[in-house]
Structure 1
Amino acid sequence: MNSLPQAGASAPKQTRFHYGWIVVAVTFVTLLVSAGVRSMPSIFMLSFEKEFGWSRGGISSVVSIGIFLYGLVGPFSASFLERFGVRRVMLFSISLLAAGLAVTSLMNALWQFEILWGLVTGIATGFMANVLGVTVSNKWFAKRRGLVVGILTASAATGQLLFLPLLAQITVTSGWKSAVYTAVGVLVVLLFLVALFMRNHPSDVGAAPYGADEIVQPVPFRGNLFLAPLLALRSALKSKSFWLLAGTFFFCGYSTNGLIGTHLIPACGDFGIAEVTAAGLLALMGVFDLVGTTLSGWLSDRFDSRKLLMWYYGLRGLSLLFLPYALNSGPMNLFIFSVFYGLDWIATVPPTVKLATQEFGKERSGMIFGWVVVAHQLGASTAAYGAGAIRDWLGSYSAAFVSAGFVCLFAAVISTRIGKRNAVSAR
């Protein structure tokens, strides 16, 4: 992410519209589709139980592996993005994801599901994780980075908004294989979109980063693709701030995509709520998270990110403590939960990125944040498997939801201790 003024360069092209916003739009759609595909197992869980006889815990273990690999790839994706360019990495990831999905329709054993969704999908979506958004933000924007990170982070929830109700309806009416083929078709269209419009760096279009006055050229990546992230991790492990960021993000993953993203639909099924209706609740959360996370990016440009995290984790914890009651008491309370929880779904990302950048510098922020995301996905992986195991053991998800509520309240407390410098920065 280092860059230097271009020697002898002419002044950047002065246009009213900056190409960086096109890059943001393409990245948004890519992350949106990736998130939609990654959330598909929550729709298929009940279908796989009926068709293959797999247990809830067995299916959850596959989701758990995929979630963990999705996070583990993140730090290494940062070095790949620097070495090969954003466009090439995106094209490779989308192609791998489409191939893995296409083969999914042929599976008939749990170990095949583990390879396709635990390994292949986990790696492919890992290259299109939050690190991609951070990289695009740092390369293309000198100002409004918090807002851009918020917009790109919100794309994950928007993916649920667009995909889950549609794919759930297709699954109910035509079967899960039809839903898979639909997703493959969307990925093929996305492949052409990225090939046509994505660019690696502002200098590729003769522009300066948004908010800057001079064209800059990226410094070539000279480190080892696999060693550089490990060296960044070794350095970060000496920092108390890294441990606090990683710890709070572990609880973030535990309480979001690992728990609610994976298990809300089957939990609703336990109370006789149809899959399409339950998917609609997740979609509703996506609507409000699009607002909440984008607003969070705007707020992180203006206020102390530690205080923002305290509020986000605290309110999320209260909403999760309310969820068992909402499931037992009718649709209105579930609607209230969806709105309240949705506003806070992944609003934690922009302030976490801001704190990581402040503590470790823009040059290393991609890799460091990638390792913080590993902690997030480790938490999500724990919840994805653990909640399924708890459901098999106790016959209810209530204990899983309540435990997540309490760990969020704990995260709210420790988030105030991250860093010693003031988290307020200029726009």
Structure 2
Amino acid sequence: MYHAPLLQPTTLGRHTLKNRIVLPPLTRQRAAQPGDVPTALMAQYYAQRASAGLLITEGAQIEPRGQGYAWTPGIYSQQQIAGWRQVTDAVHAQDGIIFAQLWHVGRVSHTALQPGGQAPIAPSAIQAQQVKAFIETGDGAGELVAPSMPQALSVAGIAEVVALYAQAAQNALDAGFDGVEIHAANGYLVNQFISQHANVRTDEYGGSLQNRLRFLREIVQAVATVVGPERLGVRFAPLFSGTDQDRVYIGLVEDDPHTTYIEAIKVLEQAGVGYLSIAEADWDNAPELPQAFRHDVRQTFSGRILYAGRYTAERGARLVEAGLADLIGFGRPFIANPDLPARLAHGWPLNAVDQATMYGGTAQGYTDYPVHADLARQAGTAA
């Protein structure tokens, strides 16, 4: 079977994963209000998908300033920790393994989402372009708006944010998570520090590539101290070509992305991080990662390597078989197919994603997608 490599078990630190299929982080915007608290509905959603080898939650903001979209869950309050405990208990009851993604959007936010209406924080006071934040407008409605002009963090402020990452990691353990992932991709705060286009600081956190990697290095060390490096993953989104929009936001195309991200991966290798997640561009006509980069990633990093981004089972299996990946993430297919591993194993057809219910809302388009057994039963009844 072409997909057989995906169905093989593997290890991740102390964990044995039942297969190499991953539910990657997927923003769904269904946290309870007020307080951005995970709910019983979210617990049901993740438990439905616990047949994956590894589940990684949607991004959970590590502090109120880390939010860029209304109704996304946090992981900084006791209510939120209790809400996430419902999620982890439900997943563990299905013999699943689940990591929490720790998220801070930095400048991709709006004053309406910030405590006291303050400016969002960033490495430098450079406004994010060609991207939107999402704010609540009342009565359960919201709208996309341009991000506000950010304020540059002081060195003391940077230290405070690093400490907040460490606290969020402890909160994740308290909530019962098996590990955590640091979101360092897609133009958010950690990515902003790495990027030569978003970071124009002249102190020890800016200028040279090694200086721009300092924030990442400090967060990785702080979080690894809390959870143990083998229970830590980090997500990057390297982009090797693109439009001006891509350059300023999605992936933040660097002048030399190969060197930038190989050096960033060396930070993870030196820390003994358990896995590296690479989020590939997933829009139409998106550029593919160069094979030379994939090979250098494998040569540089000795932990588990996860790729995600419009993968088919066949394409993912080929990458695993070639030894370039250990795990493959399936985003939209997993939204619409809670039993995705079984469907891939048996070659069963996939449900289509309802684009209208991707973000926000109720159980519709969230926990009501049918599993194959239900569809087969319905077909048998109809026959």
TM over 0.5: no
The structure richer in strand per residue is 2
TM range (shorter): under 0.3
Name the TM-score, length of structure 1 as normaliser: 0.25
More helix by share: 1
Structure whose CA Rg is larger: 1
Query: Which structure has the higher relative contact order (CA within 8 Å, separation 6+)?
Result: 1
